[in-house]
Amino acid sequence: MRRFPCLEYARKFAGAQWGLLRNPGDLTEHQGETLKRIKRTGGALWRAYEMKESLRAVFSGDLTDDEIRKLLEHCCSRASRSQIQSFVRLSKTIRSHKEGIMAAIELGVSNGQVEGLNTKIRSIIARCYGLHSAQATLALVMLSCGLID
């Protein structure tokens, strides 16, 4: 019995992480070759990559509402049959929040700005460890971010 099959799998696809995360149009030559190698070997990793890319199409902005609904349903059915536990759970989550997802796409609403501000504030707080008071930290946050409503 092999002791660490994950380790062998990780060595086989070393350096593939950034190629899997980037947009297909932004890949370097090396990352493109790595993706081609993953595609040839197939398996769960390639299926997961394909499902991720099909979900990205939902948020591309050039589809009608009916096309988005069909694509979401197709993605969910494929993910639930994939036997990849994370994607099975994702498909259940998407199905339970489908109307909210559709509303967010129709209205163009995103929490990206709020998350960006949150990250900036957390970074400032991390730099402020060691200051004598919370007031100094708050002052630095206000100075960096301006007035926050």
Yes or no: say if 71 and 77 are a contact pair by the CB < 8 Å rule: no
Burial degree of 76 (CB within 10 A; 0-12, 13-18, 19+)? buried
Helix (H) or strand (E) holding 118, with range, is: helix 112-127
For 106-126, write each residue's pLDDT tens digit.
888 888 888 999 999 999 989
Yes or no: say if 137 and 124 are a contact pair by the CB < 8 Å rule: yes
For 11-52, write each residue's pLDDT tens digit.
766 777 778 888 888 888 888 888 888 888 878 888 888 888
pTM here? Answer: 0.65
Domain residue limits, the chain: 1-41, 50-109, 112-145
The distance from CA 64 to its chain's CA centroid, rounded to whole angstroms, is 23
- For tokens 């096309």, name the residue: 67
